[in-house]
Amino acid sequence: MDVSSLGNRLKEERVRQGLSQADLAARVGVSRKTINTVENQVFVPSAILALRLARALHTTVEKLFFLVGGK
Amino acid sequence: MTDADHDDHAARIERRTDHILKISGLMFLAWQASYFAVFNQADHQLRTVDVIARAAYVAWACALLMLVATGGGLFRSAAVRAILDDELARSHRADAYRNAFWSLIVIALAAYAATQLVEMSAHLLAHIMLSAGVLVAVATLAFLRRR
């Protein structure tokens, strides 16, 4: 999947909850770099990781991730 | 150890692995010059020191491949290994393997054509393919991990 076609509100939601990247990484069980690359739209997470991120932030995948562009 | 401790430990290993990939990859590339300048001359007599150098080269290639395959977390706890082998790391490794595979196919095709015109020893071909496979995998991983 093209990284530019997936937007996210991960950073916004994480900061809103007062979590650092390290905190979120520890909750989800991935590295800080993974959180960083997802936030900066360098890496497109799998459905499983997206669901785990949503669960860790007590929200839904649809609120965290959205499609960019018309297609 | 808490989850945060595991994360700190994994982050330190990641940084160290990044440095090793860059420095060792560049040294591995530089060593190719000495191989082609010294060891691959037609009139070169194979001495004991050359055999040791070649064995060291193979061990070095295997060590780099091991680093690509494990991300540097081989003898760490299961929790740290899981962080080092997360989705991003697996994705980067898959890209490194894919690029290495295609580089080997291109070299094999080139060698197939070249050996119709010039004679090349099996040892030389094996050296070129091993070096290219390792270097492309290491370079891809080093580049992707930089982001």
Domain boundaries, chain B: 3-146
**DSSP label of A44:** P
Of the ranges B16-20, B50-54, B132-136, B143-147, the best mean pLDDT one = B132-136
State the Rg of chain B over Cα: 18
Q: Which two tokens stand for residue B86?
A: 């997360």
> Taking CB atoms and an 8 Å limit, are A37 and B88 in contact across chains?
yes
- Residue A51, domain extent: 3-67
For the four alpha carbons of B122, B125, B131 and B134, in that order, the dihedral sign comes to negative
Which residues in chain A land under pLDDT 70? 1-3, 70-71
**Record: contact B87-A27, CB cut-off 8 A:** no
CATH code, A63: 1.10.260.40
Q: Given pLDDT bands bounded at 50, 70 and 90, which one contains residue B65? A: very high
Of chain A, the end-to-end C-alpha distance in Å amounts to 12
Among B88, B90, B145, B146, most A C-beta atoms within 10 A, so best to mutate, is B88
Among the partner residues B2, B4, B87, nearest to A30 by beta-carbon distance: B87
Cβ A43 vs Cβ A37: under 8 Å: yes
Give residue A61's pLDDT: 95
Q: What tokens were used for A38?
A: 């997802």
Interface confidence (ipTM) of the complex: 0.79
- Cβ distance A26 to B147 less than 8 Å, yes or no, reads no
Spell out which chain A residues touch chain B, with contact meaning CB-CB distance below 8 angstroms.
Answer: 22-23, 25-27, 29-34, 37, 42-43, 45-46, 49
In this predicted model, what pLDDT tens digit does every residue of B93-144 receive, in sequence order? 999 999 999 999 999 999 999 999 998 889 889 999 999 999 999 999 999 9
Domain count along chain A? 1
Residue among A23, A29, A33 minimizing CB distance to B88: A33
